[in-house]
Structure 1
Amino acid sequence: MTGSATIYHNPRCNTSRTALKLIEESGAVPNVIRYLDTPPTHDELRTLLADAGLEPRQAVRHRESIYKDLGLADADAETLIAAMVQHPILIERPIVVTEKGTVLARPAEKVLTVL
């Protein structure tokens, strides 16, 4: 593939690193957004999730302690999005956007569907 791919990336995450490697190996030019440092806005996150066909509950990291601390188990979609924007560690990663679509690349090989 030629072109570009935007990856919402956490360099400490093995799955995210693997997805980035697959993007690079495909020939795409990665635009790396370290979402912990530069989180998406509320509207950007809502759009990313919609484009990936995901509900907020499908893209929130349930195992993070902040998830339990904030009592998000029964939260509605808008509350989850607001929590993910305020605490980006709650955003499941990596999310990859290309001209072919948007995907939550878990497992990392799912990135191949948009490359």
Structure 2
Amino acid sequence: MKATIWHNPGCSKSRAALETLQGRDDIELTVVQYLKDPPSREKLAQLYRDAGMAPREGVRTQGTDAKERGLTEADDASVLDAMVADSRLIERPLVETEKGVRLCRPPEAILEIL
């Protein structure tokens, strides 16, 4: 199975999800450090759509000004534009497999798509 993780090595939840993926022999893993190589607006929209969530549900509020900017209540287009402009606004980790996409908070959510 192929899996892609949008990873931040400074995040304990992201490291835990990565460890789960790396611990499996049946996973062909792609690791994207999204702060260095951010996803496109189209990719973000697809990830949230496939996860069954609105982009505002994937906004990182801790350590960002997302709440002050109203992004937790904003429309999809505004949230996606903000995330593309500043990838620190993307909550992590996002994991994509052929079975779907999950925002792996808690990291155990990854088991739903493995």
What is the TM-score with the length of structure 2 in the denominator?
A: 0.90
- Counterpart of 2:37, as a letter, is T
> In the superposition, relative to structure 1, how do residues 73 and 18 fare at CA in structure 2: closer, same or farther (>3 Å)?
closer
Q: Which residue of 1 aligns with 2:111?
A: 112
- Counterpart of 2:89, as a letter, is L
Q: Which has the higher helix share?
A: 1
* 1:1-115 correspondence runs (5 A): 3-27=1-25, 28-68=27-67, 70-115=69-114
How many residues matched? 113
CA drift of 1:85 comes to 1.0
What is the aligned-residue RMSD (CA, Å)?
1.4
Q: 8 Å contact 1:8–1:93 — kept in the other structure?
A: yes
What is the TM-score with the length of structure 1 in the denominator?
A: 0.90
Contiguous gaps of at least 5 residues in structure 2: none
Q: Taking every aligned residue pair, what percent have the same amino acid on both sides?
A: 43
Runs of 4+ in 1 over 2 A off after TM superposition: 63-66, 68-75
Q: Deviations over 1:33-69 (max 9, x none)?
A: 0001111111110000000101011100122333245
Determine the C-alpha separation between the residues in 1 that align with 2:64 and 2:99. 34
Q: Give the secondary-structure state (helix, strand or coil) at the position aligned to 2:65.
A: helix
